[in-house]
Amino acid sequence: MSIASLPDFPWDSLAQAKATASAHPGGVVDLSVGTPVDPTPEPVQQALRDAADAPGYPQVWGTPDLREAVAAWFAARRHATGVDPDGVLPTIGSKEFVAWLPTLLGLGAGDVVGIPRIAYPTYDVGARLAGATPVASDSTLTFGPKPPKLLWLNTPGNPDGRVLPIEHLAKVVAWAREHDVVVASDECYAELDWREDAEGPTTPSILDDRVCGGDHSGLLAVYSLSKQSNLAGYRAAFAAGDPRLVDRLVQVRKHAGMIVPWPIQRGLIAGLTAHDAVAAQKRVYAARRTSLRTALEGAGWRIDNSEAGLYLWATQDRPCRESIDSLAERGVLAAPGDFYGAAGERHVRIALTATDERIAAAVQRLTTG
């Protein structure tokens, strides 16, 4: 595959809307990218400081205590009691893992990678990097007699905040095992669950005992501390699941030098145990979410899904680029739904990741016009 065959970087197409929004007398309120703006929790900062003297090479596989901490977190927060520490792998952020998983699994020409119909662009890009064919579908029936080698799930979804229930995940796992399909589930927003009828402290995982019966063969879950702990700048994430798959990934990553730095590995442990900080950050996002949602609905927008995560999936029932231009005239920048596939072309993604002052400015502009 040549680099020329990759799609254009979606955010480059927002240049004009950004210029319009930036010309607003009160400045731009940029809600187009989900980058955290709040401080990294102090326990994580302290762990990073304590690990700052790191002259040697870290372990690609991660230290045993890190892998044990991830397994314990899955048991405590994700209803997945059987995660084997040998099936845990720290990664250089979650986007890296999404982009390179098809390649690391040895997929190539003639192989199919299933991705959600409304999906963050990196699932598509990762398939293309491997030379495989991405097929967007939310139904396993789409694949007919030729199932994909790899099926991506994204729950909670980016951009739409959709949460896949336990029953749905269990059916996907059963189908995948019948057809020898690897299932990778991107679950990076799991701690930010806004549903009143949630089944547990976080959204369901593909590794949840109620989904897979404690059998993680053929399954991988990827998670990032970027959202729950404001660690986007540190690229702190991990994958967990089938130890055989993880071992295969580790062997390739050793050759490629894909290693999470030692201080970040220490920070991951601290972030996974800083439950009070995660809860406090969730309260901050909940307040911003309520303010924005109320203002949008008052201005005639409809919010679809948005059950979890850091975004409101909003529509005016018109083409998304028209909505983007309308928001830009008010000094608000959002992400058009067509970034995420044709199924999103009448929605926009509005991020909660701005300061309270900027969120208040957006609310005022939406309210007064």
Calpha distance 3→104 (Å, rounded): 18
Per-residue model confidence (pLDDT) at position 171 = 97
193 Cβ partners below 8 Å, 6+ apart?
A: 156, 163, 201, 202, 203, 307, 308
For 257, the 3-state DSSP assignment is coil
The tokens of 350 are what? 């509005």
pLDDT at 3 over 60: no
- pLDDT band per the 50, 70, 90 thresholds, residue 266: very high
Q: At what angle do helices 356-368 and 275-298 cross, to 10 degrees?
A: 10
pLDDT at 111 over 50: yes
Phi (first) and psi of residue 88, to 5 degrees: -120, 140
- Mean pLDDT within 337-350: 95
Q: What is the pLDDT of residues 270-287, one digit of tens each?
A: 999 999 999 999 999 999
Phi (first) and psi of residue 36, to 5 degrees: -60, 150
- Assign 3-state DSSP to the chain and report helix, strand, coil percentages, each to 5: 45, 15, 40
Provide the percentage of residues in the chain whose pLDDT is more than 70: 97
pLDDT at 136 over 90: yes
Per DSSP, which regions of 86-159 are E strands?
Answer: 88-92, 112-115, 133-136, 150-154
- Mean pLDDT within 35-62: 94
Calpha distance 298→145 (Å, rounded): 48
What string of DSSP letters covers 305-352? ---BSSEEEEE-SS-HHHHHHHHHHTTEE-EEGGGG-GGGTT-EEEE-
- Mean pLDDT within 110-126: 95
Taking the complete model, does pTM exceed 0.75, yes or no?
yes
Per-residue model confidence (pLDDT) at position 13 = 83
The mean pLDDT of the chain is 95
| DSSP 8-state assignment for residue 156 | S
pLDDT at 2 over 60: no
Q: What is the pLDDT of residues 139-183, one digit of tens each?
A: 998 888 889 999 999 999 999 999 999 999 999 999 999 999 999
Phi/psi zone of residue 7: left (φ > 0), alpha (ψ -120 to 50 degrees), beta? beta
User: Which strand ranges, in their side-by-side order, compose the sheet holding 311-315?
Assistant: 302-304, 311-315, 348-351, 335-336
Strand partners, 152: 184
Q: What is the pLDDT of residues 178-228, one digit of tens each?
A: 999 999 999 999 999 999 988 889 999 999 999 999 999 999 999 999 999
147 Cβ partners below 8 Å, 6+ apart?
A: 112, 140, 179, 180, 181
pLDDT at 251 over 80: yes
pLDDT at 60 over 50: yes
Q: At what angle do helices 320-329 and 15-22 cross, to 10 degrees?
A: 20
The tokens of 242 are what? 């089938």
Q: What is the CA radius of gyration of the chain?
A: 20
pLDDT at 317 over 50: yes
Strand partners, 150: 113, 182
- Mean pLDDT within 248-269: 96
pLDDT at 4 over 70: no
Calpha distance 192→89 (Å, rounded): 23
